[in-house]
A and B are shown apart, each in its own frame.
Chain A
């Protein structure tokens, strides 16, 4: 870890100005990602601009749906009655993530910007295209058990490790962003994260110094009836080997609308429109679910150690759909 300066700000304007104006500066919210990576020398920020006093707060129902301030804590959002009732998938994704201590610190905005757990990325002694563009990707033929089978490239197969983003991708969430000029823009969550291609160092469309202000999730029947299923190496406090965020609106045995996203298997939160297409209008049966699951992983490109994820992701998705439709 290197020495850094620390600046606490109370407005978006000051915060964005500080980060835009200082080379190597970064925002800090809960700090559970940024400090972790600084201790590993993976990130070397010269200044941390604390945004915890910026009023990006609130968990409320608006005309557009559920609005969550970017600085709300994972635990507060996960336990909020509104979220529990109308967006159970979001609550489940949050409360199955990390540990209670981390969830009490970690913010919603920070969660979406957490970085991969790829072991090569996290150790500066290794080459890694994401950390050091052009240095190579040892994961392709190395320890890739935890890495992505969907959305990878020859440059990088790092998994987006988070859970919240998967739920938000499924439910058509939209992010509100604000830059140093005070200009705001809306970006759908599914367009916020980008696949690595040849530039794995670029993970989102967020511009330098731009802030996440809030997240909005439209209300829908498939949001009210939704669930998040996470499979991991131990019963709690582990990242997903595979996860499925599913929402269903079933009427008289027919699926009227469906939402599907996969976690733990993609280089970004992996919304599967292909699976949704198969589900929509079809009978809510295991056969339908299996077909949808097969479609969801059709483009999978597994490596040696993560081949099992092709089967696991499908089984996880099928199980989630079965449990949800039986509920």
Chain B
């Protein structure tokens, strides 16, 4: 099937989980054979181009499409006046919930303009160029009103939401009496942190190719982190049964959260395909990407802490104010990590939102944890300096032996080892405890560190294994590979669970026709999908075992199922390995070419790899989630700061994490490196500027929205602590996609403080914020 990647360079040896296997899809990607969602040359394909709003608030008074429609090749121009009717829209809470929409507003369903860059028309033509030219010819007359650009605008309506993040988190949290504890604390500190608007900016922008296979059946090639979530959203939008919508995503050029939901351009493209009766492809331009798939919101955090003279935390009070859209109460839940990172007896958090003319912000890699950790980890650093305690020591004095936010024991935690190993690799002991005194010529040198933590989110998914008598297997799950290595690690897991070499496995993903897997988001994919693959393999072995013990010709005839184990593709007695046989022999005798098994991977269902699921001991099951499940880690950073020119360069980097079982040493290292670079970007340069009067971005391109280039990033050292977590899931995998960037901006800012003696609490730390700093 041309949809499927051709695999390459899989190791021919069994026993590969954890090994640094090369990416099985690497060759296809390098050769340009890997097909992304905008790369399916369907017969009759035509091109959609969005026309977006020039104003941030008001109404569309009229749209003149006559000139554009006269252009050759133009097939259709959809506007709010002729958009084919949808069964549901997210414009009301019930519809939003049914769709699972990231935003309670669908553009082009009325004449209302709520934000700059909002789609006002979708032009379809037979070529991309003609659609683009026609878009320029569409004339839109607006009745503009003065927009509000951010919560910082005096006119912004500020309020305390009961719930944030779409109802998923509380707007107010209280544990103990933090105010009273603060009042009597010997040390009190309050600091204000701001975070710029950040955009995910994956290399591949949002892209949709939609084809109606029948009047009530549509296939959508979509750049999404979750085919099933997109399928569900579209089926609700369109009023079709879920199985009548097929979503395919074989390759993704990065997502980072912005592809975690079904955004307006996707459903608009599906409607355009319906309107023209031909497959339509739409790819967001880079400027459109800035106003189409959410962002990390602009925000201020005020963190107050009370501590003893020994540096023991007594109280933490966290307040966050941020911008949200006219309809949704979205804020990243920064306070969660602050509530659990350290052993502090009292905690309080408040969220405040300001409505503005912007689209709804969305999850951005480590949503909440990333900016939240910037606040707590900077403040912990402050406390360390104020008390003259080493930054690692202050963290050890507040080490949380159980989850302070719930009182539950951790399922596993290797943070102490992360600190120790990271410090050793980095050479932390060489640090001069005084800030602003270490120099390299004109440059000021600083060391900083910070803690990282990320939860193992509740998740589940299914996988299917089809084992062939000729020694091959096809393994399937409707997961997605964001470029992180899902294809590769699942091939490894399948290989080991089936006792086959990886080159005998084909792992298929990215299609709603496959068993349902969770969104690749919240760092759940690796743990959930690997566990479901493992469980599906166990299902196959159970079926084969049943066959063997009933087969008079099998050496295992009349053995008890629980006495049989699988070893390297062989079914054999646990007590006597000589008694057993190869699965191929068994299947051939039975006259079956292949056998299928399916399995469910679930959070909290125990670590049983290497054993049959049937014999999983109850002691290791944690269905009710009696444990608090988190990854932990530590980042160490060296910066060199030019105090005259204001430039900050990260010159050394060490990250050590305890994240359960690591499925592939190479792709895991790449994940941590990628996440750290993402965090360094947020720390030092990433910022989308929104004009305060027009509520419109002024740097919506990659020339002016800076992300790190190679020259910004040093050689990075990454290690993992060997961790066996018996509770999280069948494979003991916690996931590493997001923890990699938690704490990064604080590690950088702490290093900048150590170098300069200047505390920058306003991200990103660009040269203008360093200037005026002389070594102290």
Please say whether chains A and B are actual partners in one complex: yes
A1 within 8 A of B: yes
A234 and B709 within 8 A (CB): yes
Say how far B240's CB is from chain A's closest CB, in angstroms. Answer: 36
A234 and B712 within 8 A (CB): yes
**How many angstroms between the C-alpha atoms of A138 and B698 in the bound complex?**
11
A315 and B644 within 8 A (CB): yes
B688-703: which residues lie under 8 A (CB-CB) from chain A?
689, 691-694, 696-701, 703
A311 and B645 within 8 A (CB): no
**How many angstroms between the C-alpha atoms of A187 and B692 in the bound complex?**
41
B54 and A234 within 8 A (CB): no
B693 and A308 within 8 A (CB): no
Given A125-B116, A138-B691: A235 in contact with B649 (beta carbons within 8 A): yes
A319 and B712 within 8 A (CB): no
A234 and B706 within 8 A (CB): yes
Question: Cβ of B693: which chain A residues have Cβ within 8 Å of it?
Answer: 138, 141-142
Question: Cβ of A40: which chain B residues have Cβ within 8 Å of it?
Answer: 287
A316 within 8 A of B: yes
B704 within 8 A of A: yes
Say how far A33's CB is from chain B's closest CB, in angstroms. Answer: 11
Which residue from chain B places its CB closest to the CB of A122 in the assembled complex? B701
A188 within 8 A of B: no
Question: Cβ of A119: which chain B residues have Cβ within 8 Å of it?
Answer: 689, 691, 697-700, 704
Which of B646, B694, B708 has a CB less than 8 Å from the CB of A138? B694
**How many angstroms between the C-alpha atoms of A117 and B702 in the bound complex?**
12
A125 and B771 within 8 A (CB): no
Question: Cβ of B182: which chain A residues have Cβ within 8 Å of it?
Answer: none
Which segment of A193-201, A209-217, A236-244 sits at the interface?
Answer: A236-244
Say how far A181's CB is from chain B's closest CB, in angstroms. Answer: 35
**How many angstroms between the C-alpha atoms of A123 and B701 in the bound complex?**
11
A231 and B698 within 8 A (CB): no
B696 and A231 within 8 A (CB): no
Question: Cβ of A145: which chain B residues have Cβ within 8 Å of it?
Answer: 689, 768
A238 and B133 within 8 A (CB): no
A241 and B767 within 8 A (CB): yes
Question: Cβ of A122: which chain B residues have Cβ within 8 Å of it?
Answer: 701
**How many angstroms between the C-alpha atoms of A319 and B645 in the bound complex?**
9
Question: Cβ of B129: which chain A residues have Cβ within 8 Å of it?
Answer: 1, 3
Given A123-B698, A125-B696: A312 in contact with B133 (beta carbons within 8 A): no
Chain B contact residues: helix, strand, loop or mixed: loop
B684 within 8 A of A: yes
**How many angstroms between the C-alpha atoms of A234 and B136 in the bound complex?**
34
B645 and A231 within 8 A (CB): yes
**How many angstroms between the C-alpha atoms of A143 and B129 in the bound complex?**
32
Say how far A4's CB is from chain B's closest CB, in angstroms. Answer: 9
A2 within 8 A of B: yes
Chain A contact residues: helix, strand, loop or mixed: loop
Q: How many residues of A contact B (CB 8 A)?
A: 36
Of A41, A125, A238, most buried by chain B (CB within 10 Å of CB) is A125
Say how far A257's CB is from chain B's closest CB, in angstroms. Answer: 25
**How many angstroms between the C-alpha atoms of A2 and B131 in the bound complex?**
10
B133 and A120 within 8 A (CB): no
Question: Cβ of B710: which chain A residues have Cβ within 8 Å of it?
Answer: 236
Which of B53, B116, B698, B708 has a CB less than 8 Å from the CB of A142? B698
Question: Cβ of B136: which chain A residues have Cβ within 8 Å of it?
Answer: 1-2, 41, 44
A216-238: which residues lie under 8 A (CB-CB) from chain B?
231, 233-238
Question: Cβ of A41: which chain B residues have Cβ within 8 Å of it?
Answer: 136
A88-128 CB contact bits vs B (8 Å, 1 = yes)?
00000000000000000000000000000101101111100
A238-256 CB contact bits vs B (8 Å, 1 = yes)?
1101000000000000000
A170 within 8 A of B: no
B31-64: which residues lie under 8 A (CB-CB) from chain A?
53-55
A312 and B645 within 8 A (CB): yes
Given A3-B129, A125-B116, A126-B696: A235 in contact with B767 (beta carbons within 8 A): no
Q: How many residues of B contact A (CB 8 A)?
A: 40
Say how far B40's CB is from chain A's closest CB, in angstroms. Answer: 24
B706 and A120 within 8 A (CB): no
Given A3-B133, A234-B708, A236-B709: A125 in contact with B55 (beta carbons within 8 A): yes
Question: Cβ of B649: which chain A residues have Cβ within 8 Å of it?
Answer: 235
Given A142-B698, A312-B645: A117 in contact with B703 (beta carbons within 8 A): yes
**How many angstroms between the C-alpha atoms of A235 and B713 in the bound complex?**
9
Which of B54, B701, B704, B711 has a CB less than 8 Å from the CB of A235? B711
Which of A126, A146, A236, A312 has a CB less than 8 Å from the CB of B646? A312
B132 and A315 within 8 A (CB): no
A284 within 8 A of B: no
Question: Cβ of A143: which chain B residues have Cβ within 8 Å of it?
Answer: 689, 691, 698-699
Given A119-B689, A318-B644: A237 in contact with B709 (beta carbons within 8 A): yes
**How many angstroms between the C-alpha atoms of A69 and B710 in the bound complex?**
32
B746-776 CB contact bits vs A (8 Å, 1 = yes)?
0000000000000000000011100110000
**How many angstroms between the C-alpha atoms of A124 and B135 in the bound complex?**
14
**How many angstroms between the C-alpha atoms of A123 and B285 in the bound complex?**
13
B689 and A308 within 8 A (CB): no
Given A125-B54, A142-B693: A1 in contact with B132 (beta carbons within 8 A): yes
B672 within 8 A of A: no
Say how far B133's CB is from chain A's closest CB, in angstroms. Answer: 5
Question: Cβ of B708: which chain A residues have Cβ within 8 Å of it?
Answer: 234
Which of B116, B647, B767 has a CB less than 8 Å from the CB of A308? B767
Question: Cβ of A235: which chain B residues have Cβ within 8 Å of it?
Answer: 647, 649, 709, 711-712
Say how far B59's CB is from chain A's closest CB, in angstroms. Answer: 16
B685 within 8 A of A: yes
Question: Cβ of A3: which chain B residues have Cβ within 8 Å of it?
Answer: 129, 133
B689 and A234 within 8 A (CB): no
**How many angstroms between the C-alpha atoms of A146 and B116 in the bound complex?**
22
Which residue from chain B places its CB closest to the CB of A4 in the assembled complex? B133
Question: Cβ of B684: which chain A residues have Cβ within 8 Å of it?
Answer: 234
A114-158: which residues lie under 8 A (CB-CB) from chain B?
117, 119-120, 122-126, 138, 141-143, 145-146
Which of B287, B646, B689, B706 has a CB less than 8 Å from the CB of A238? B706
**How many angstroms between the C-alpha atoms of A138 and B699 in the bound complex?**
14
Question: Cβ of A237: which chain B residues have Cβ within 8 Å of it?
Answer: 709, 711
Which residue from chain A places its CB closest to the CB of B117 in the assembled complex? A125
**How many angstroms between the C-alpha atoms of A231 and B645 in the bound complex?**
7
**How many angstroms between the C-alpha atoms of A122 and B689 in the bound complex?**
14
Question: Cβ of B699: which chain A residues have Cβ within 8 Å of it?
Answer: 119, 143
A296-327 CB contact bits vs B (8 Å, 1 = yes)?
00000000000010011001101100000000
**How many angstroms between the C-alpha atoms of A40 and B699 in the bound complex?**
13
B390-437: which residues lie under 8 A (CB-CB) from chain A?
none
Say how far B53's CB is from chain A's closest CB, in angstroms. Answer: 8
**How many angstroms between the C-alpha atoms of A311 and B770 in the bound complex?**
11
Which of B701, B711, B766 has a CB less than 8 Å from the CB of A236? B711
Question: Cβ of A138: which chain B residues have Cβ within 8 Å of it?
Answer: 691, 693-694
**How many angstroms between the C-alpha atoms of A235 and B645 in the bound complex?**
12
**How many angstroms between the C-alpha atoms of A316 and B766 in the bound complex?**
15
Question: Cβ of B709: which chain A residues have Cβ within 8 Å of it?
Answer: 234-237
Question: Cβ of B772: which chain A residues have Cβ within 8 Å of it?
Answer: 311
**How many angstroms between the C-alpha atoms of A239 and B705 in the bound complex?**
11
Question: Cβ of A315: which chain B residues have Cβ within 8 Å of it?
Answer: 644-645, 771
Known contacts A125-B53, A143-B689, A315-B645; can you find 9 more A-B pairs with CB under 8 A?
A119-B689, A122-B701, A231-B767, A234-B712, A235-B709, A237-B709, A308-B767, A308-B768, A312-B646
- List residues of chain A with CB under 8 Å of any chain B CB: 1-3, 40-41, 44, 117, 119-120, 122-126, 138, 141-143, 145-146, 231, 233-239, 241, 308, 311-312, 315-316, 318-319
- List residues of chain B with CB under 8 Å of any chain A CB: 53-55, 116, 129, 132-133, 136, 287, 644-647, 649, 684-685, 689, 691-694, 696-701, 703-704, 706, 708-712, 766-768, 771-772
Across chains A and B, which 3 residue pairs bring their CB atoms closest together, nearest first? A119-B698, A235-B711, A125-B54
20 of the cross-chain contacts (CB-CB < 8 Å) are: A1-B129, A2-B136, A44-B136, A117-B703, A125-B53, A125-B116, A125-B694, A126-B691, A142-B691, A143-B689, A231-B647, A234-B706, A234-B708, A234-B712, A235-B712, A241-B768, A312-B767, A315-B771, A316-B645, A318-B644
